[in-house]
Structure formats: structure tokens, C-alpha cells
Structure 1
Amino acid sequence: MSAQLSHTIELPVLEQPLPKPFPLAGLEPQADFLCIRGVRLPLGELVNPAFLEAERRADLRRQLEAAKPFEHLVVDGLFHPALLELVAEEFDMQTETSWADVTSRYERLRRSALNVRLGPATQLYFDLVNSGWFGEWLSSVSGAQYLLPDPRLFGGGLHESRTGATFAVHRDFNRHPHLGLKNEMVFITYLNKGWDPEWGSALELWDKKRCVSTVQPEFGRTILMPHGPNSFHGHTKPLQAADGRPRRSVAAYFYSSEPAGRQHGVEAGSVFMQKHHADRVKAVARMLTPPLVWGLARRMIRR
């Protein structure tokens, strides 16, 4: 004999909150970071956030404009020191084929070859300075708009001077030889710890007759030099470090294009295979209307 229940028994449901994520010892819960050769690099601090604030940008802009003998800016601590230490290590990790030696009556130095494969920390440094947001920061500080980086690092990359090296006073090139873009500035970060000014090889900034100021190539020091008719610089005193150490830096150039920031009619937009009738009528009207009248009409419509 079987028995049937005349009603359904509903068991209570016990609601419990989800357990909180287990905190990782020593790590911020929402911090992003990466590791290179076991060194932890906080992504949000690779560029010092204090330099990105609006008030600091305005102050840096004033410093650049007031600098002598030509506009330039020298700052310390822009980049996280752990990143720069890793970059400095990677100079010795490059193969001999990674370098291009430059020797003439005017200069003696070596720089990384064009399109060379860089170490991970060095590539990270250049990814930062060549990024859009960093370019916007450079524009806000320098006043040069629509800055374009050069990922192939012509004239830039890794720079190294060895004992006896000099670089005669000079002004940098006006245009990129391959792209034809106008040179706007060079951005250099030095990697030399415990630098002694007695060793020579400081960066000299000249007017038309003499050296007006010098920049010692100390670790973590960055110089931004807008390119202009009077931006003469070099290091004329031969490098003579007591322990034979080289003088090292990383450099990147930034460029501009003359048409940048200006619209160019149909060249500045996508070309659709089938255009709407109203757009075809508008295109014909624009061709038949003098530019001045067309511009006035557009301004009236926008009101």
C-alpha cells in the first residue's frame, strides 16, 4: 500500500553572501603590475602620476619657456627607478650586431641599430613614451600639437659613450630622412648612477658663442629639448670615468606633419560606395558654392 502526500513540503533556502576574494599578501587588491626578471613594476607608477596633474603641467610649461639659452626642460624622477635600472641592465644584454658605431671628426659614440629588437624593459620604456597619452602630456608641456612618435627610433634608441667619447656642439636634423616629417623635439633619459661631474661628458647647452648651462647625465634625469634654429648642444669634454664606465641614455624623437589638425574635405573621411541622395545634393552644392559663403552658411546652421 502506498501513501501520497497531499501537499508539497518547501525546504527553506539559506542565502549566504559569496566569500570575499582571498587577499594576496603584500599586493594591493586592484593594482596592475608586471614582472621583468623577477622585478615587480607597478603599471600605474611607471610614469610618476604627480607629473600628469594639470597644475604640474602648467608649471613645467613655464619652466621650459623660461629656460636658457633656448627652450628646454630638465626633470628628475619622471620614471620609476626600478624600470630604469632594468633598462640599464639591458645595454649589456644586446648583441654586438645590435649596435651601430658612429665615428667621425665630430662625434664618437654608439647607438642601437635601426629596428633593433630591444629587451623587455627597454621596449616597455619606449612603449610608454611613444603612447598617445604620453604624447598628449608632451604636447601640454611643450606646446607642440599633434606630436608623432617614431617606433623605429631613427637617431634614438640606446645611446652609449665610452672612454674618450665626445660629441661636438650641433643642432639636430630638421626632418626625418625616411618619413619627411618635421623634427619637433628629442626626449632623453639618463641611466648613470653615481655620476661624477669631474668625469666630463655633461650635456652642454650653447648660445651662438659659449656654453650657457650644463646637464649632468645622472640616473633618472630626463631632458626635453624642442628643436629650433638655436638649439645647439653637445658634450665636448671627453669622457674619463675613473672606473671606465660608459655614459648611457635612451632617446626618442618626436615629429609633426604640416597638414596635421586641418580637415581636407573628402580626403579626411571614409568614401561610401552608395551615398544617400541628400548627401549627393549637398556635395554638388558645396562644389558650386564659394568657400567663404559655404563657411558662413555652416556657422549659421551651427548656431
Structure 2
Amino acid sequence: MVYLHEMDENNGLIAGDIDRDKGSELRESFQSADPFPHIVIEEFLPSNVLEICVGDFPAGSDVAEQKFDRHQERQKESFNPDILPPSTRQIFYSFNSRPFIRVIENITGLKGLIPDPYFAGAGLHRIHQGGHLSMHADFNHHKPMNLERRVNVLIYLNKDWRAEYGGQLELWDQGMTRCAQSILPVFNRCVIFNTTQESMHGNPQPINHPERVPRRSIALYYYTSTWDETKRDTTTQFRVRPGTTDRVDWRTKINEVAVELAPPVVIRNFRRLKKHLAGTH
């Protein structure tokens, strides 16, 4: 049984008369989950909706909005929905619609969720053979809209994916003492979780598909208008698993110390210089 059967399988639109309480039946399971609030939903969308996304997935990397290839995030790409074909763009716009947001609010218990028209860091994600994403807590501030990040929604696009192929989504406790959940990224499996500095997650096991098929997913982020000057703006915070070859993200740590210690005028000029240098390449 498809969970969000109210979504049209041809265009991704959600029926306007969808039950206003849909998702509330999952809230208790969501809020009591270990190690932090989350839920895994099988057969989340009509399969044809995801087939559209798979069919529209860029074959190459030239239109990727972001590419990452360092120790903490290896062989990872993200594609903003606005550069994708209209069929997939429509589906992403539906993810930003009131009926879909209300379902996420009912599941999480968080009201007033705000979608991101910029799709900052969101969209279609791909990790190639040998790639991984180390354990981390996500950035917490949407600067253009001055919003606080609150919820992640991940929907997987990988058919016939086995544990030996790697890429499992791992959820760890805040102290990084144990992996509480290991979730295989199989087709039409959805994971929803609170986004806080305690929600340590990642897929640290390198992709190892025998036919070199990459790991693909849909990533959606939702916010609230609760950001204020008392909160500390943080970028992605990587953490090291005990007994592994994970590396400390010194680049981020050094940048954060520099921001804390340097006068604002120095930081502004440094950012202008970085932007200028990026534009000359």
C-alpha cells in the first residue's frame, strides 16, 4: 500500500481534499524513535512518480550545482530541481506545496514549516562508486530567508540495493558512541528526521556496487521562522566514529575559529575576496 496515495502518479500533484490529519498516526513513533526523532516509511510515493525522477536524473555531472570530493564527503553531487526537466520540477514543487507540508507537520509535530524555494543543498543527490558521506549534523541557518532548519526528508531511488553495496544511512547518538540505526537506501523508502545539532547522520560506508551503479536519492529540507540572534550559525558539523579511519574536519574548525576571533570587517572582506576569486575561474 502506497503511503501517500493521494499524490497523482503522473504529475506529482497531491489531491486538495487530502485528509488534514494524515501523518498524525505516525507522530508517536516519530517522536519516540532512537537515537533522535525520525521515522522510516516504506512505499512512500506512487512508484511512477519516482520513475519520473529516475528517468530525468542527469546522466553526467556537468549540470551539478554542487560537487564534493574530500575525505568527509567523497564523490558526491547534488542537482537543483530548477535545472531538471519539467516533469521532475513539477514533483519538487509539489514537495513544497501545502498538502505535502501538512503531512510532514503532522508526522513531526512541528507546525509552521516553511519550504525552500531555493532548494539550498536539496534536490537530487548522487554518490558515485567509492564515495561516502561521513557522520555529521547539518547546517542550521538558511541565510537568504533567515530561517532555522528543522526537518530532513530523504527518499531513495535505488532498485535492488543490497547491504554489501554500502551507502546505508546511519543514525548515531550525539556522543558518537553507537550506531542506533542502519537504513538501507532502497527504492521508495523515505526517512524523515528532526534536524538539530544532535541528529548525527550520514552514509559512511563507501558505495561498492558490482556494476558501479551510484547511490541516488531525493533530499528535501524544511524550516521554521524561529531563527534569532541568540542562535549560533553553524555549517555542516562532521564527527568521527570511534575505531575508524574517519578524519576530523579541521578546515571547518579553523574557519569557525577565524570567524569567532576576527573583526566583522575582516570577515566581510575575506568573503568578498573568495567570491571574486571564484568568479575568475
Structure 2 letter corresponding to 1:132: R
Other-structure match for 2:99: 133
Cα separation, partners in 2 of 1:197 and 1:121, compared to 1, 3 Å: farther
Cα distance, 1:95 vs structure 2:
6.3
Deviation string, structure 1 residues 220-271 (Cα, Å, up to 9, x no partner): 0111111123100011111100111000001111011028xxxxxxxxxxxx
Other-structure match for 2:30: 64
Other-structure match for 2:10: 41
Cα distance, 1:99 vs structure 2:
4.1
TM-score (norm 2): 0.71
- The answer to whether residue 210 in structure 2 is matched with residue 242 in structure 1 is yes
Deviation string, structure 1 residues 118-171 (Cα, Å, up to 9, x no partner): 123321221121001211121111111111111221011110001111111000
Contiguous gaps of at least 5 residues in structure 2 = 1-6, 228-281
Higher relative contact order (Cα pairs below 8 Å, separated by 6+ residues): 2
Other-structure match for 1:85: 51
Question: Structure 2 residue aligned with 1:233, among 192, 197, 201?
Answer: 201
Cα separation, partners in 2 of 1:121 and 1:221, compared to 1, 3 Å: farther
Deviation string, structure 1 residues 159-210 (Cα, Å, up to 9, x no partner): 0001111111000111113322100111111000100111111000001212
Deviation string, structure 1 residues 57-77 (Cα, Å, up to 9, x no partner): 232111101211110011012
Instruction: Tell which deviates more after alignment, 171-180 or 93-102.
Output: 93-102
Q: Tell which structure's C-alpha radius of gyration is larger.
A: 1
Other-structure match for 1:257: 225
Question: Structure 2 residue aligned with 1:158, among 124, 147, 154?
Answer: 124
CA distance in 2: counterparts of 1:110 and 1:196, whole angstroms: 20
Cα distance, 1:115 vs structure 2:
6.8
CA distance in 2: counterparts of 1:86 and 1:45, whole angstroms: 16
CA distance in 2: counterparts of 1:89 and 1:170, whole angstroms: 30
Cα distance, 1:93 vs structure 2:
5.1
Deviation string, structure 1 residues 66-95 (Cα, Å, up to 9, x no partner): 211110011012211011011011113566
Other-structure match for 1:198: 164
Q: How many residues align?
A: 219
CA distance in 2: counterparts of 1:92 and 1:42, whole angstroms: 19
Other-structure match for 1:272: none
Structure 2 letter corresponding to 1:220: N
Q: Decide whether the 8 Å contact of 2:76 with 2:132 is kept in 1.
A: no
Cα distance, 1:114 vs structure 2:
4.9
Q: What does residue range 1-303 of structure 1 map to in structure 2 within 5 Å?
A: 41=10, 52=19, 54=21, 57-92=23-58, 96-114=62-80, 116-207=82-173, 208=175, 209-258=177-226
Contiguous gaps of at least 5 residues in structure 1 = 1-31, 34-39, 260-303
